[in-house]
Amino acid sequence: MAEIVLMRHGHAFSAQRAGAQPDSERPLSPLGEAEARETARHLNAAGFFPNLIISSPFLRADRTASIAAELFTGAERKKAAEISDGPLQALLELILGTFPEDSRVLMVGHQPLLGAAAGFLLGMDGFDISPAGFVRLNSGKGPGAGSLIEYYTPPPPEDTNR
């Protein structure tokens, strides 16, 4: 079974503060950048080394994935609208039908879609994934067939320049 990390993007500026229209163009804040680095370091220290990093095409998720890719240099990079646009069934089809059994995949996207997918795969209620947090699991081959490896929330950084 594939090992999947469903990671939420780091903190992003509000659309108003960023002057971003549409929402898909909101950038990470300095806090979000620091969170993404910390989470990638945590995954590395825990022994997770993805061979594929897939992100939502939204700027904040793509930047979070790029920060992780700086550490996981051998990973292939892709974008998939299913991680941002859903519906949940499309994301589940991507997770369950795309990856070879020995894959290690980091998927960077958005709440509540990622938390709902993790819950479905594990046969649990959905997860409330914090910014730059993740659910790490073995995917299994159907609803409730996965197994939880780790549910992670990054610690608050000392300097919180939001």
pLDDT tier for residue 25 given thresholds of 50, 70 and 90? confident
pLDDT at 159 over 70: no
pTM (2 d.p.): 0.93
Domains along the chain? 3-131 (3.40.50.1240)
Question: Which percentage of the chain shows pLDDT scores above 90?
Answer: 75
Q: What is the mean pLDDT of residues 68-97?
A: 94
pLDDT at 14 over 80: no
Please tell me the distance from the alpha carbon of residue 77 to that of residue 123, in angstroms, as a whole number: 29
Least confident of 85-89, 131-135, 158-162: 158-162
Who has greater pLDDT, 18 or 2? Answer: 2
pLDDT tier for residue 20 given thresholds of 50, 70 and 90? low
